[in-house]
Structure 1
Amino acid sequence: MRYRTIGTDPATRREVSVLGLGAMLFGSATDEATSYAILDRYVEAGGTFVDTSDNYAFWHDGGQGGQSEELLGRWRRSRGIGDEVVVATKLGARPLAPGTGYLDNPEGLSAKVIRESAERSRERLGTAKLDLLYAHIEDRAVPLRETVEGFAELVAEGTVGLLGASNHRAWRVERARQLAADAGLPGYEVLQYHRSYLPRRLDLPGELDPDGDVGFVGPDLASYLRAEPQLTLVAYGPLLKGAYARPERLGPEYDVPSTPARLAALHAVAAETGATVNQVVLAWLLGADVPTIPLVGFSSVAQLDEALGAVELELTPQQRTRLDDTR
């Protein structure tokens, strides 16, 4: 396993494995025994960066979520896991009532919600401190300053370490970071968005926004990340739910002129290296122009083992050029 440091403050920064483990479906669609087996294998391989949220997976049973955090809490206690494994969680998108959604009825990002939801996450995870806490989605109904100050209070109290944002527009992230800097407060240092090898069409409506550009690393966010190298990008959905191995699963959002040529280049590099196409995608992300921590969810140990093989896969400059220059 390889590692990198996230965060800049010596008091809160952490060293994490370059491959993150997504626990979205643990305790719901993925049963407890399988979840434990995946977690155990991940840690055995040197993995130290697990991701969850307070609303995972509310859609599985029509509830409000919390199953993933609860399972991780049970697993941590049963294995004696301490702060050697960094657990990141999120708040802001938990439905306020069973049977509702995270867009039409979210908890939001008020100071009150931030404090109360973070406390419930600590209880479910069985920890006194959240290593990394994200604002899951934007909340335009609450002043940004209130959100910034609400998160900063928890850091000051020692119940939260690092702060992050997921699925926010780049300008909202920058405004929040500037508000924090002007007030001498901790700000967002880790950003979590969807990113993969195939470019996504941003002219189609997205799940989070009708404009289609929220939640994805498009040109604006990529440019922002290049200009702010102290930020860490964590990429969810990097393997497109298995579509690299089965391109017929690709949706219309990946129907762009470059897709056939990029898939051909991907398969050619996989054949050259003896790796799978999924491993090449992950290796490409790890060494991309915007260094990225891929966040991958698994339903079996075999899937995890395949992804682990990408960590030591070194693409040559020529292979990267072939992958990057395909238009």
Structure 2
Amino acid sequence: MTTNPALGAMLFGTVQDERRSFAILDRFVDTGGVWIDTANAYAFWSDPTGFGGQSETVLGRWLASRPGVRDRVKISTKVGCEPTEAGRFPETAEGLSAGVIKRGIEGSLRRLGTDHVELYWAHKPDEATPLDETVAAFGELVAAGTVGRLGCSNYPVWQLERARRIARDHGGAGFTAVQQHHTYLRPRPGALPLVSHRFGVVGDEVLHYLEHHPDIALWAYTPLLSGRYTRPDRPLPEEYDHPGTVRRLAALDEVAAETGTNRNRVVLAWLTGGTPAATPIVGVSTVEQLDEALAGVSLELTAQQRERLDSAV
């Protein structure tokens, strides 16, 4: 199968207990899944302590209990959002100073029980730390072999470009992946989806940049709007209440009927086959939901169906 989607492990160890988390992970690997996405901050808001690390810890126990599986998967984790005081996020988020990045990767590797990760992300911008310091600290991890590649999440395009230029000017590794909220429906212009950080939405500016920088991979978080495409008990947020949503949902339903599938599968097929193609991060709570997501990324849309979906605005 394709390496899409990435398995989102955000709620492993908190909302999802270890037994269910292991079952999902086992199924993911059995079907050929490769990328697993987590963060040192996951999931501080769901844990009584007010701090994260639970997701990485569960992943580490799973890796330790499955001999040889570490060679079959790739780990994506992040630093920058872990609160330094319980109950005070985002004002006490750890940030991206050199010291935080160094301690962050050390803690992540310890919890994961590994000596490296394939992809390490800046979780969100840190206005208090010079970008030069952040870029240099990340680059040192790549040079040391501790990290394979670097990515940034929830960054504005100008800051992504500046960080990449700093890395080039100093001969170090730069960001080659961006992780933002991306889905088929579009919020009203100027509206901030509840699922996103301030600069975390894929818009025309991000897409234009990525089209002209094919070395950068796009990862899409919350691609299925936490079940809101298919679950009547989860209505769309207010920022999607506009005529464009009506037209795009109609196009989505037409294509779902033609393919004999549903909205979720069509959304994932649209994302993985788009320009630029995206790696959707799917957070599932059951093996059945995982199978549904895998069926979505395997769905092939015709050029006419894709054009119809793209043109509904």
Normalised by the length of structure 1, the TM-score is: 0.92
Which residue is equivalent to 1:282? 268
Which residue is equivalent to 1:119? 106
Q: Does structure 1 conserve the Cα–Cα contact (< 8 Å) formed by 2:138 and 2:150? A: yes
- The AA in structure 2 aligned to 1:98 is A
Q: Distance in 1 between matches of 2:201 and 2:39?
A: 18
Is 1:49 paired with 2:44?
Answer: no
How many residue pairs get aligned? The number is 310
Pairing partner for 2:74 from 73, 82, 86 = 86
Pairing partner for 2:224 from 206, 223, 239 = 239
- The AA in structure 1 aligned to 2:87 is G
How far apart are residue 115 of structure 1 and its match?
Answer: 0.4
How far apart are residue 159 of structure 1 and its match?
Answer: 1.1
Instruction: Classify the secondary structure of the residue corresponding to 2:72.
Output: coil
Q: Using the aligned pairs only, state the percent identity.
A: 51
Is 1:267 paired with 2:258?
Answer: no
Which residue is equivalent to 2:126? 139
Which residue is equivalent to 2:241? 255
Q: Distance in 2 between matches of 1:126 and 1:218?
A: 37
How far apart are residue 268 of structure 1 and its match?
Answer: 1.1
Pairing partner for 1:293 from 262, 279, 302 = 279
- The AA in structure 2 aligned to 1:312 is S
- The AA in structure 2 aligned to 1:129 is H
- The AA in structure 1 aligned to 2:88 is T
How far apart are residue 106 of structure 1 and its match?
Answer: 0.7
Deviation string 1:158-181 (CA, Å, 9 cap, x unpaired) is 111110000011100100000000
Within-5 A mapping of 1:128-167: 128-167=115-154
Q: Does structure 2 conserve the Cα–Cα contact (< 8 Å) formed by 1:55 and 1:95? A: yes
Is 1:227 paired with 2:212?
Answer: yes
Decide whether aligned partners of structure 1 residues 112 and 307 sit closer, same or farther in structure 2, where only a CA change above 3 A counts: same
- The AA in structure 2 aligned to 1:18 is N
How far apart are residue 193 of structure 1 and its match?
Answer: 0.4
Q: Does structure 2 conserve the Cα–Cα contact (< 8 Å) formed by 1:206 and 1:214? A: no
- Point out where structure 1 has 5 or more consecutive residues left out of the alignment: 3-16
- The AA in structure 2 aligned to 1:93 is C
Q: Distance in 2 between matches of 1:223 and 1:190?
A: 15
Is 1:66 paired with 2:53?
Answer: yes
Which residue is equivalent to 1:185? 172
Deviation string 1:230-249 (CA, Å, 9 cap, x unpaired) is 10000000000111113661
Q: Does structure 2 conserve the Cα–Cα contact (< 8 Å) formed by 1:279 and 1:307? A: yes
Instruction: Classify the secondary structure of the residue corresponding to 2:61.
Output: helix
Q: Does structure 1 conserve the Cα–Cα contact (< 8 Å) formed by 2:13 and 2:55? A: yes
- The AA in structure 2 aligned to 1:56 is Y
Instruction: Classify the secondary structure of the residue corresponding to 2:135.
Output: helix
Q: Does structure 2 conserve the Cα–Cα contact (< 8 Å) formed by 1:133 and 1:163? A: yes
Instruction: Classify the secondary structure of the residue corresponding to 2:176.
Output: strand
How far apart are residue 208 of structure 1 and its match?
Answer: 9.3
Which residue is equivalent to 1:26? 12
